Every structure is written in C-alpha cells, then in structure tokens.
Amino acid sequence: MYDMIIIGGGPAGLSAAVAAQGRGKQVLVISNPAEGNPLSKAPVIHNYLGLPGRSGRQMMEEFTKHALDMGAELRTGRVLTAMNMGDSFFLTVGSDVYEGKKLIFAGGISRGTKYPGEEGLVGHGVSYCATCDGMLYRKRPVVVIGRAKDAPLEANYLAQIGCQVTYVSPAAPVGLDAAIPSVKAGRLEIAGEGGSVTAVVADGAKIPCEGVFILRETVAPNDLLPELELEDGYIKVNRSMETNIPGVYAAGDCTGKPLQISKAVGEGLIAAQAAAEAIEAANNG
C-alpha cells in the first residue's frame, strides 16, 4: 500500500510528490501522459519565479524528473474509479488496482462539459469505466463515446467480452476493431426512460442502447468521488488542502483560481505536508 496516491502529474501533483517523498513517504503519481498536460502546450512561461523563459514542455520535463529523482513512482494512465474504504482508497487504472492511505487530487480542471441527460443517468446506464462495468452489459447494446485516445481499445475490450458496441466520436477512431460500427457525430445527448438509459442521440439520430460508456481524457473529481464537495465548480478545501472527505486532499487548478503554476506548486506542497502529518499522527497514536 502506498502512503499517498496522487491523481494528476501536473505542477500540483509533482510538487506534492516531491514534498511527500522528502518526508519519507512512499508516493504513486497516476496521470495521463505528460504531453497532454495543459502546461506542455504553453509555448513560454514568463511568470514562474526565478525560471522565466522556459517552455511549458521543458518545465513539465524538469518537474517530472525532480519527482522521479526523489523516488516517486509514476504510472501513466487514467484513474477511472476511486473507492473510499474508510482508512484507505482503492483506485483503478484500466484493470490495475492501487491502494493508498491518503489521496491527493491534483487533476487540474475538467474541460469537457457534460452531455445533456448524462448527469441524472450516472449509475443507471451511464458509466465512465469499461473494465469496471462492462460485464453488466454482456450481450446487450452499448454505445462508447470516445473522447480519449485509448477509448477505441476500451471499446474493443467491451466487444471482446460480448457487448454489442457502437462507437461514437467526433473524429475517425484510431485502433478500433473493424467489426465495431462507428458513427461520426459531434452533438450528443443521453436519452433515458424510467430512470435508465435507452439511447444516445447523435446529431439527431437515435442509437438505442442500455449502457453508455463516456470515455474522456479527464474524469471530473466528483464523478470519481460523488460525495466530494464543490464550490463554484471547484473542489472545496481548507487551508490544509483538506476536502470534506477525510483522507482526501486537493491541490492546483482543481481548487480554483488563479489557475497558475505557482499556486499549483504551493498547494501541492501543503497537501502533501498535511497528508504526511496525518499519517505520522496515526502511526504515533
């Protein structure tokens, strides 16, 4: 079991990793590939103290190297589910499961807006995790909405276990099994009846189904942990970066403005220190 699992390998998560390792804690950072991080897209950063003029990609490389040099483990992948066990957390990445005593959410801001109908049907046909929920839909029609690079592979997996898959995405998918029908559509809606999913409406055309797997690059924090308290769309934290869920901390853009590297780095440090203190207090008492 890790002392801390950090979701997000941007400035906040990597800063948290450096601080935690510095306090002798064993850390796993799970993140989407660094190339997709928003900072990697910044041509030049002028306002980071002492290091003006670097590109975002360069900063990401240096931040990542620092965390790895401190001994943090880095797992590339998307966290699809988080389970709160009371005194630890189980996180899934594909079919792998990781356990940590404390959880630091540093996943940045989720840029995808929800589809009409999605919110009310989560758990009633809407799923974000093919590995977790796929078996529920064996021999039944499902739609995979592919908004992440690995979505075609998840769709292939669903087809392999016997789901009747239709793939919907705004662009032609790469790596999708040729036997899976694919629909190109941009305007989507999730339709339901009696509290369950009945169809995906893609550019006005109905695709009947019983399950919808919505696979985005990022997962909104309150989709991972539904009881997480938000304020104006951001995770609500106190000055120790504690959320309303004991053992869960948040840092960086996900906690609110200003959406800046310095603030993310500072909050990552505070979250890791607070989590480390909580672990030490539990060990001593």
- Under the binding rule (CB under 6 A), the answer on residue 42 touching ligand FAD is yes
Contact 281, 25 (CB under 8 A): no
Angle at CA of residue 176, ends 215 and 134, nearest 5°: 50
In contact, 139 and 161? CB cutoff 8 Å:
no
Cβ closest to ligand FAD, residue 118 vs residue 253: 253
Q: In angstroms, how far is CA 232 from the centroid of its own chain?
A: 19
Q: Is 94 in the site for ligand FAD (CB under 6 A)?
A: no
260 binds ligand FAD, rule: CB under 6 A: yes
Interface pick for ligand FAD out of 21, 31, 164, 169 (rule CB under 6 A) = 31
Choosing from 4, 5, 6, 7, the residue that interacts with ligand FAD (CB under 6 A) is: 7
Contact pick of 225, 252, 269, 271 for ligand FAD (by CB under 6 A): 252
C-beta closer to ligand FAD: residue 7 or 188: 7
- Residue from 81, 218, 243, 273 that binds ligand FAD (CB under 6 A)? 218
Edge-first strand listing for the sheet containing 164-169: 126-127, 211-216, 141-147, 164-169, 182-184
- Give the Cβ contact number of residue 187 at 10 Å: 11
Rounded CA-CA distance 244/9 in Å is 23
Among 153, 207, 219, 274, binds ligand FAD (CB under 6 A): 219
Give the CA count within 13 Å in the CB-facing half-sphere of 57: 4
When asked if residue 41 is in the footprint of ligand FAD (CB under 6 A), the reply is yes
Examine residue 248 and tell whether it contacts ligand FAD (CB under 6 A).
Answer: no
Q: Which residues bind ligand FAD (CB under 6 A)?
A: 7-13, 30-32, 36-39, 41-42, 45, 47, 78-79, 106-108, 217-219, 252-253, 259-262, 264
